[in-house]
Each structure stands twice: as structure tokens, then as C-alpha cells.
Amino acid sequence: MLIRIDDPALVEDLCAHFTRSGFYAEHVGGGMVEVEPPDAASDEEARRAVMMHLRVWQIANPDVRAQPA
């Protein structure tokens, strides 16, 4: 899943957040991060897992806007 973040300075922090939780996360340019959960059984399960972890990260970074691209 591709995530767009409005503050490119925090891309590495977002990648680290997902990586600590066992996800694959890679900065793919600008404010874009590609995230994949480790063992999702379906696309819907993968999306839910990514969105849940993204919400947690946004709670810690309330002034940053991040959303699926």
C-alpha cells in the first residue's frame, strides 16, 4: 500500500514505525512510502493492518497528514 505524507522530513520516521512492527516499508520518493504487512491473508486484511498502524503513528504525529495514495 502506498502512503503519502505531507512532511517529507518524517518519511524515515514513518518507515521506522512500520519496520518496528514487522512490516516492509520503503521510501519510494518525495513523501511516498510503500508499506506491506508481513502475513496478510487478503488485500483487505493488509489494508486494515496498514491503516491501523498508520493511525497509531498519526496519534504520535498529530500535525502531519498521512493518507493512502
User: What are the pLDDT digits (tens) for 16-53?
Assistant: 999 999 999 999 998 999 999 988 899 999 999 999 99
Distance CA 28, CA 2 (A): 9
**Count of the separate structural domains present in the chain:** 1
Burial of 49 from C-beta contacts in 10 A (0-12 / 13-18 / 19+)? buried
Q: Is residue 21 included in any domain, yes or no?
A: yes
Q: Is residue 36 included in any domain, yes or no?
A: yes
Q: Is residue 32 included in any domain, yes or no?
A: yes
Q: Is residue 57 included in any domain, yes or no?
A: no
Q: Is residue 58 included in any domain, yes or no?
A: no
Find the radius of gyration of the CA atoms of the chain. Answer: 11
DSSP type of residue 7: -
Q: Note every long-range contact of 19-26, with CB atoms under 8 Å and residues 24 or more positions apart, other chains counting.
A: 21/53, 23/49, 23/50, 23/53
Q: What pTM value is reported for the model?
A: 0.92
Q: pLDDT band at 4, cuts 50/70/90?
A: very high
Q: Is residue 59 included in any domain, yes or no?
A: no
**Domain coverage including residue 18:** 10-41
Q: Is 40 helix (H, G, I), strand (E, B) or coil?
A: coil
